[in-house]
Amino acid sequence: MAVILDRILDVLECCSEVSEGRSITEISTLIGLHKSTISRLANSLLDRNYLVRDPATKRYKLGVKCVELSYHFLNNLDIRKEAHPIMIELRTHVEFTVFLALQQGHDVVYIDKADGTSGVQRASIIGYRAPMHATALGKALLMQMGDEALQAFFTGYHFKAFTLQTKTTLDAVIMDLHESRSRGYAMDIEENTQGVYCLALPIYDYRGVICASLSVSATKEQWKNRKEKDIADWVAQAAMTISHKLGYINNK
């Protein structure tokens, strides 16, 4: 039974690798099975709608049933459930408080956290909201937006100052995002809360679109005792692990 399942999966994976599909001969050559065996497997998959056959080219492609399975898998993903164990592991490495957030309008909404020893209680209640322009979590969510998209997004928006370090103009926010993309992560250096540093990276969904952000926060004193690159590397690894759990494939 296991051997048959392996062969079926080999056929599906082989047909998924090219947009134009595969012929029986090509599949046979690539997998190393006789054409009659491939034909039987392909016809069974065809009957169950896992494959479709182009009548003109006689090539096999993935069918609608594969799309349905993919949809059900992605639809049933719970980002908090997928992310929380990784957040706990990240907290263990950096010892700072870890936050997970989603975008809602021009704000970020904190949906989960893992308390560290940093004493930062910004999201002691899940559901806390904060402005995107003044938080590393918010900036990370904006990292895929180009300048024109950012200008449209912030049209009519009031850039409220929370500390002396808050970016209060669109130009300043855009420049900050350029720097974030260049170094690979977003920073909030006492911009939302005096004395608190925060570093965040985006989380990507199966389409390669930013769907959430992950951050670590600590007091200024605690931050100064650590190497920023080391912190960024840990957060980047955690964010990418969560992204992969959501179906993201990094082709870079």
pLDDT digits (tens, 9 = 90+) for 199-235: 999 999 989 999 999 999 999 999 988 899 999 999 9
Ranges of each domain in the chain: 2-74, 77-245
Alpha-carbon separation of residue 146 from 43, 73, 142, 186 (angstroms): 47, 31, 9, 15
Q: Is 227 helix (H, G, I), strand (E, B) or coil?
A: coil
DSSP 106-154: TEEEEEEEE--SS---TTSSTT-EEEGGG-HHHHHHTTT--HHHHHHHT
Q: What does the pLDDT average to over 65-81? A: 75
Tokens 């449209």 belong to residue: 152
Distance CA 162, CA 91 (A): 27
CA–CA–CA angle 94, 99, 105 (5° rounding) = 150
Other Cβ atoms less than 10 A from the Cβ of 186: the count is 26
126, pLDDT greater than 90: no
**pLDDT (tens digit per residue) in 85-101:** 999 999 999 999 999 99
HSE-CB at 226 with a 13 A cutoff on CA atoms is 23
Do 130 and 106 contact (CB within 8 A), yes or no?
no
246, pLDDT greater than 60: yes
Distance CA 236, CA 108 (A): 19
Do 28 and 14 contact (CB within 8 A), yes or no?
no
Distance CA 148, CA 48 (A): 46
Element (H, E) at 239: helix 228-245
State the CATH architecture for 77-245: 2-Layer Sandwich (3.30)
Which is it for the CA torsion 95, 97, 101, 104, positive or negative? negative
Kindly state the percentage of the chain with pLDDT values over 90: 73
Question: Considering the domain 2-74 in this protein, what is its CATH number?
Answer: 1.10.10.10
Please enumerate in sequence order all residues whose Cβ is within 8 A of that of 195, keeping only pairs 6 or more positions apart, or say none: 219, 220
Burial class (CB in 10 A: 0-12, 13-18, 19+), 137: buried
pLDDT computed for residue 150 by the predictor: 97
